[in-house]
Structure 1
Amino acid sequence: MKRSAVGGASPLIVIVDRGGSKPRRASSSSSSSSPPSSPNTGSARPNKKITDRLSGVIDAVNDRKLPPELRGQRNAVRSETDILNVVEQRIWHSMEEGHFENLPGKGKPLDLSTNPHADPAEDTLYRILSRNKCAPEWVELNKEIRNNIAEWRSVLKKAWACKKGGDDSKWMELSGALKLQLRDINNKVFRYNLIVPFGRQMFGLKWEKEIVRLNDEEPRPVEE
């Protein structure tokens, strides 16, 4: 027996088996659920458009950094050497055309009393220190660190000779003291890197690398 609903309601189908079992209720095809659409599908396209636009802007900015001769050919620029070649060509062309002739101050000594590329406050400070025969703190600290490293490596070389000579007890004693001195030197290097102008930082010492350096300095046996 089948019965359907009337009046615009969703159709209902009741199936009765002849064997006397209880009626079963089946949903109509119109009420079948469809798989939910992913909420991220709609937002993926705008995100991709924004990413493409940002990539285009970055490419345009990087392209403007190149010399006019290389603009639009970023894929052809393999290294900084290609850019330097363009700069060298410009300099040679300018020299051939005489652009460097009759420049102001030609044949006169350079005025090194001021540095036009330095910060005015720093330049004034350095001139005051120079007049009083003083140097900036980082300059003095640089000299101190280099002297300490030279002395430390000299002692390390002597201790290494003791180890190679079979005096392990002397090597253990000296190596312990040298490791403590190495830590003090690296602390000075760390402080130096904090106060030095950008681009003048230095690396600290590493025990393993210093030992490798000593091994490399040892004379190799000559093969007959």
Structure 2
Amino acid sequence: MVIIAGRGISGFRWASSSSSSSSSQSSSSTKSPKTEKKLVDRLSSVIDAANDRKLPPELRGQRNAVRSETDIINVVEHRIWHSMEEGQFENLPGKGKPLNLNTNPHADPADDTLYRILSKNGCAPEWVELNKEIRSKISEWRIALKKATEFKCNGDNSKWVEVSEALKVQLRDINDKVFRYNLIVPFGRQMFGLKWEKELARLEE
């Protein structure tokens, strides 16, 4: 009888623990959407506050207003004119003197030193020379392509096929140079290569 009672008690305890765990899970599941919504609201408010601090004081505190780049430009121009009226641009250091362009404060110091040495010796960076070469080759290639299309228009297909194959080889050579140029050029100065179909469509326009 003691063993049976023990089983009954243990069974009762197990049932009570399972019921309590299930109730806690159900309560946590019901609370999770609300908690998640509060977290999202707090994050969005922090992001709005951070973005608001980036704006000029004249445009802060207008969360529902639609801001544009023009609004910021207007604020900047208003400040400039206000400073000019107050004479804040008068008697500035270096006024009336030529600008010192020997150094570029926005460039990497190592690159700036290299460019300055090249300039003194009448040279240019490799990407500058390569840019000139690519543009020259593209201009010559397009002239040759325009002349080659005359064979196609005149019905001389065999000559057109022969010349077009040679032009495609030159196109691949130009694109190889463009690829090398894009690897060594400073960021933001990359250029696109040539595409045969687009160049033909360009002549038909």
TM-score tier after normalising by the smaller chain length: 0.7 to 0.9
Count the aligned residue pairs. Answer: 183
Give the corresponding residue for 1:89. 78
CA distance in structure 1 between the aligned counterparts of 2:27 and 2:183, rounded to whole angstroms: 52
Partner of 2:124: helix, strand, or coil? coil
CA separation of 1:77 and 1:143: change in aligned 2, threshold 3 A: farther
Q: TM-score, normalised by structure 2?
A: 0.76
CA distance in structure 2 between the aligned counterparts of 1:82 and 1:140, rounded to whole angstroms: 41
1:46 counterpart letter in structure 2: T
Which of the pair is proportionally richer in helix? 2
Q: TM-score, normalised by structure 1?
A: 0.71
CA distance in structure 1 between the aligned counterparts of 2:145 and 2:63, rounded to whole angstroms: 50
Asked if 1:49 corresponds to 2:52, the answer is no
Question: How large is the Cα RMSD of the aligned pairs?
Answer: 2.5
CA distance in structure 2 between the aligned counterparts of 1:38 and 1:151, rounded to whole angstroms: 76
Match of 1:105 among 85, 91, 94: 94
% of aligned pairs identical? 78
CA separation of 1:109 and 1:205: change in aligned 2, threshold 3 A: same
- Structural mapping, 1:64-143, within 5 Å: 64-73=53-62, 75-143=64-132
1:40-65 Cα shifts (integer Å, max 9, x gaps): 55443333333332222222222222
CA distance in structure 2 between the aligned counterparts of 1:158 and 1:78, rounded to whole angstroms: 52
Moved more, 97-106 or 56-65: 56-65
- Structural mapping, 1:1-224, within 5 Å: 37=26, 41-73=30-62, 75-216=64-205
Structure 1: 5+ residue runs without aligned partners?
1-8, 10-33, 217-224
CA separation of 1:74 and 1:159: change in aligned 2, threshold 3 A: farther
Structure 2: 5+ residue runs without aligned partners?
1-7, 9-21
Higher relative contact order (CA 8 A, sep 6+): 2
CA distance in structure 2 between the aligned counterparts of 1:208 and 1:78, rounded to whole angstroms: 42
